[in-house]
């Protein structure tokens, strides 16, 4: 096991990784930008290396500076958490080149899965169903027009190197295809340095279902069941739950087995997530992409399985065999997570940085249990330079209704002053008939409407 690791991130991810590392007897080194100097979350670290700059591009995205911090501090490994450099194969390779173990998959596997079409081809070869579309990258707009006619409208063109909704355009009519293709390619080139696109049939009213996997270097892989992440805004997740209200036990067993085998077949090591879109018309789960890192919402899977995914991830990176067996894993109750952000939903979710005059989220609102993952406390400042996440609130109940009730009570009892938050949005979603019944999809936020002027 590692003696010391460096956590190449900031805020809540650092607190989460440090908690798991310390449980394994590992010391934690952190990095802090100029904007984060003196932040309260740095207290969870055993050592802090200052970074120059404030904005991410000048601090947390400077690979050489972070690797140097790891080498000079005597760390044996680097944990990227999520965001920033977590899925950057160049960063993983740079760590390895300087004798630092990257806590994640190999650079080669990461590169393969980062490009959406090679990832889709790999998963199809492993037996996972995929969304109908092009057989590879589109050579040009004319091929795109032809494939769209064959697949049938609506279609969506996607950046091969894309993410977060960038380099993506929905096309409903043939006469709009060329314009959408050019716009998506240009946006992808500007954002990722790669303008390559592929095409899929656009499936309306689907559910976003993802399976958590763990795989070691000895050919063992397991899945930790699924999460439903269909409550979204512009492809950004707002609420996640597990298990999904629409996935049957038979589907869960079948797809979980395929997902674990797929991870094993590509030589994947560590924690990862395989994402699907559940078709509204057929109910089929179709592969979308694989995230080669720890997900923000991994807490949901931890709460229903009792597995510390971060600790397992670190053990795998330390070349220890996976001790979990699939037949030993089961689902205990139901868990729902919401991402409480310093944003104003009534102003197009504009971030609302500022000082937290009061910040209290109770963990005893019951009847189920509550977990709050945060890096903040009263008196802290929510920085304008970084992600607006205040906390992840995860409620576990004996069943879905108890989890909803527990999360709703926790929101009502929370006291946060100094910044606007998304608490009202989450309360409306949880109380909505659509969410209560489990009858929602990615097309709209359940129960939430903006006020009329």
Matching residue, tokens 């996976």? 322
Domain check: are 184 and 223 in the same one? no
Q: Is the pLDDT of residue 452 over 70?
A: no
- Please state, in angstroms and rounded to a whole number, the distance separating the CA atoms of residues 285 and 246: 11
CA–CA distance from 102 to each of 16, 92, 114, 119, 308 (Å)? 17, 6, 17, 21, 19
Closest CA to 313 of 64, 10, 9, 23: 23
Domain check: are 143 and 232 in the same one? no
- Please state, in angstroms and rounded to a whole number, the distance separating the CA atoms of residues 403 and 424: 18
Domain check: are 252 and 382 in the same one? yes
Q: Is the pLDDT of residue 371 over 80?
A: yes
CA–CA distance from 271 to each of 126, 348, 378, 393 (Å)? 18, 33, 33, 22
Token digits for 343?
């944003």
Q: What is the pLDDT of residues 77-89, one digit of tens each?
A: 999 999 999 999 9
Average pLDDT of the segment spanning 234-247: 94
Report the CATH number at residue 371.
Answer: 3.30.470.20
Q: Is the pLDDT of residue 29 over 80?
A: yes
Domain check: are 297 and 387 in the same one? yes
Residue 440 and residue 230 in contact, taking contact as beta carbons nearer than 8 Å:
yes
Please report the pLDDT score of residue 235 as a whole number.
80
- Please state, in angstroms and rounded to a whole number, the distance separating the CA atoms of residues 208 and 187: 24
Report the CATH number at residue 41.
Answer: 3.40.50.20
- Please state, in angstroms and rounded to a whole number, the distance separating the CA atoms of residues 201 and 43: 49
Q: Is the pLDDT of residue 99 over 80?
A: yes
Q: Is the pLDDT of residue 70 over 60?
A: yes
Q: What is the mean pLDDT of the chain?
A: 95
Please report the pLDDT score of residue 450 as a whole number.
59
Q: β-strands 4-7, 27-32: how paired?
A: parallel
Please report the pLDDT score of residue 236 as a whole number.
87
In a domain? residue 39: yes
Please report the pLDDT score of residue 329 as a whole number.
98
Average pLDDT of the segment spanning 169-192: 95
- Within 8 A by CB and 6+ apart from 137, the residues are 117, 160, 196, 197, 198
Show the domain range for 80.
4-103
Domain check: are 357 and 242 in the same one? yes
Q: What is the pLDDT of residues 309-326, one digit of tens each?
A: 999 999 999 999 998 999
Q: Is the pLDDT of residue 22 over 90?
A: yes
Domain check: are 301 and 233 in the same one? yes
Q: Is the pLDDT of residue 453 over 60?
A: no
What percent of the chain has pLDDT above 70? 99
Query: What pLDDT band is residue 164 in, cutting at 50, 70 and 90?
Result: low
Domain check: are 274 and 390 in the same one? yes
What percent of the chain has pLDDT above 90? 89
Domain check: are 179 and 216 in the same one? no
Q: β-strands 358-360, 389-397: how paired?
A: unpaired
Please report the pLDDT score of residue 185 as a whole number.
96
Token digits for 92?
């993983």
- Please state, in angstroms and rounded to a whole number, the distance separating the CA atoms of residues 68 and 57: 16
Average pLDDT of the segment spanning 273-277: 96
Closest CA to 426 of 332, 349, 353, 334: 349
Q: What is the pLDDT of residues 333-360, one digit of tens each?
A: 999 999 999 999 989 899 999 999 999 9
Of 82, 103, 124, the one marking the end of a domain is: 103
Report the CATH number at residue 154.
Answer: 3.30.1490.20
Token digits for 351?
């971030």
How many domains does one find in the chain?
Answer: 3
Left (φ > 0), alpha (ψ -120 to 50) or beta: where does 409 sit? alpha
Marked catalytic residue, from 112, 169, 201, 293: 293
- Tell me whether residue 409 is one of the annotated catalytic residues: no
Q: Is the pLDDT of residue 162 over 80?
A: no
Q: What is the pLDDT of residues 112-130, one digit of tens each?
A: 998 888 888 899 999 999 9
Residue 115 and residue 167 in contact, taking contact as beta carbons nearer than 8 Å:
no
């Amino acid at each position: 096991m590692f003696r010391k690791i460096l956590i190449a991130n900031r805020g809540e991810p650092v607190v989460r990784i440090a908690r798991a590392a310390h449980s394994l007897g590992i010391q934690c080194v952190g990095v802090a930008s100029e904007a984060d100097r003196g932040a309260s979350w740095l207290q969870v670290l055993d050592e802090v290396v200052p970074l120059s700059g404030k904005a991410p591009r000048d601090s947390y995205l400077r690979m050489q500076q972070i690797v140097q911090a790891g080498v000079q501090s005597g760390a044996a490994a680097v944990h990227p958490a999520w965001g920033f450099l977590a899925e950057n194969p160049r960063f993983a390779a740079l760590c390895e080149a300087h004798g630092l173990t990257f806590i994640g998959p190999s650079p080669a596997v990461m590169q393969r899965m980062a490009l959406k079409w090679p990832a889709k081809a790999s998963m199809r070869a492993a037996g996972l169903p995929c969304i109908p579309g092009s057989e590879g990258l589109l050579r040009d707009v004319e091929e795109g027009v032809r494939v769209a006619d064959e697949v049938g409208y609506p279609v969506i063109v996607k950046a091969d190197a894309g993410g977060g909704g960038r380099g993506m355009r929905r096309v409903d009519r043939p006469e709009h295809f060329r314009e959408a293709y050019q716009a998506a390619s240009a946006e992808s080139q500007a954002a990722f340095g790669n303008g390559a696109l592929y095409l899929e049939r656009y499936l309306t009213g689907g559910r976003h279902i993802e399976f958590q996997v763990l795989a070691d270097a000895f050919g063992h892989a397991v899945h930790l069941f699924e999460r439903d992440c269909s409550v979204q805004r512009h492809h950004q997740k707002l609420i996640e739950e597990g298990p999904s209200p629409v996935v049957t036990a038979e589907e869960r067993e079948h797809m979980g087995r395929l997902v674990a085998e797929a991870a094993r077949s590509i030589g994947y090591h560590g924690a990862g997530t395989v994402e699907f879109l559940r078709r509204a018309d057929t109910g089929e789960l179709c592969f979308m992409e694989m995230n080669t890192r720890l997900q923000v919402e991994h807490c949901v899977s931890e709460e229903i399985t009792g597995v510390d995914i971060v600790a397992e991830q670190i053990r795998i990176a330390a070349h220890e065999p996976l001790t979990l067996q699939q037949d030993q894993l089961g689902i205990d109750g139901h868990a729902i997570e919401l991402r409480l952000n310093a944003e104003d939903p009534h102003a197009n979710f504009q971030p609302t940085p500022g000082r937290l005059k009061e910040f209290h989220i109770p963990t005893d609102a019951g009847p189920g249990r509550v977990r709050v993952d945060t890096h903040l406390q009263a008196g802290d400042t929510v920085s304008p330079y970084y992600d607006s996440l205040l906390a992840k609130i995860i409620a576990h109940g004996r069943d879905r209704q108890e989890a909803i009730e527990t999360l709703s009570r926790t929101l009502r009892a929370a006291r946060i002053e100094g910044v606007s938050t998304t608490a009202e949005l989450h309360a409306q979603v949880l109380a909505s008939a659509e969410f209560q019944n489990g009858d929602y999809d990615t097309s709209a936020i359940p129960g939430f409407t903006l006020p009329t002027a």
